Amino acid sequence: MSQPSSAPASTGSARPRVVVLDYGSGNVRSAVRMLERVGADVELTADRERALAADGLLVPGVGNFHACVDGLRAVDGEYLVEMRLAGGRPVLGICVGMQVMFETSTEPSASGPREGLGQWPGVVDRLPAQVVPHMGWNTVDVPAGSALFAGVEDERFYFVHSFAAQDWTLQPTPPFDAVAPLVTYAEHGARFVAAVENGPLWATQFHPEKSGDAGARLLRNWLDVL
């Protein structure tokens, strides 16, 4: 495989300002470090004003879908995502940070099920594979015209998950059908959604911050649209 460049993003005189939303979801320091590596000024915070004002908002996610939803709502994360998207301001979800953008999940929860943020219709289901979690490197099937995967269409990315959205049901209607979402797929027991580019809302099921040079290039591509 080729080795994509991980040089900092070319953004003129100012580095893009990115907030990694701090809502208690696992170890997010690797995401902060990788974003800094590829050219962003990064802040880990749940401060509402800073999250709304940043050039980009990254929503991480590790662990249980329903626990992540609870954590997000505790810091007004649903409001922050909704307000940013309403203003066309970029949001990037990673792993469970992508899953929570769907309506709900069948993942068990000791405290009962939670509705997701509902930015996309659909349910996040357990992968029907002999071995779960799906842990390790995998290829992805990238659609033509992807800006997120520019230069890394044939690379492998690092996954750690047992649940995923296995159907994409959003069907844009006029006048938005000309800008239909770009959906990237991968396979582990079944075909599942590995990434989405939908207006200002982009997301990956895999961890770009743990995917070496390919992940660095992908995050740099996101910075380039900020």
Catalytic site residues? Answer: 95, 207, 209
Between CA 9 and CA 21 the distance in angstroms is 21
How many angstroms separate the CA atoms of 205 and 95, rounded?
A: 4
User: How many other C-beta atoms can be found within 10 angstroms of the C-beta atom of residue 88?
Assistant: 8
Q: What percentage of the chain's residues is helix, strand, coil (to nearest 5)?
A: 25, 25, 50
Is residue 43 within 8 A of residue 209, CB to CB? The reply is no
Across the beta sheet with 41-45, what order do the strands follow? 41-45, 17-21, 56-59, 91-94, 201-204, 191-198, 182-187
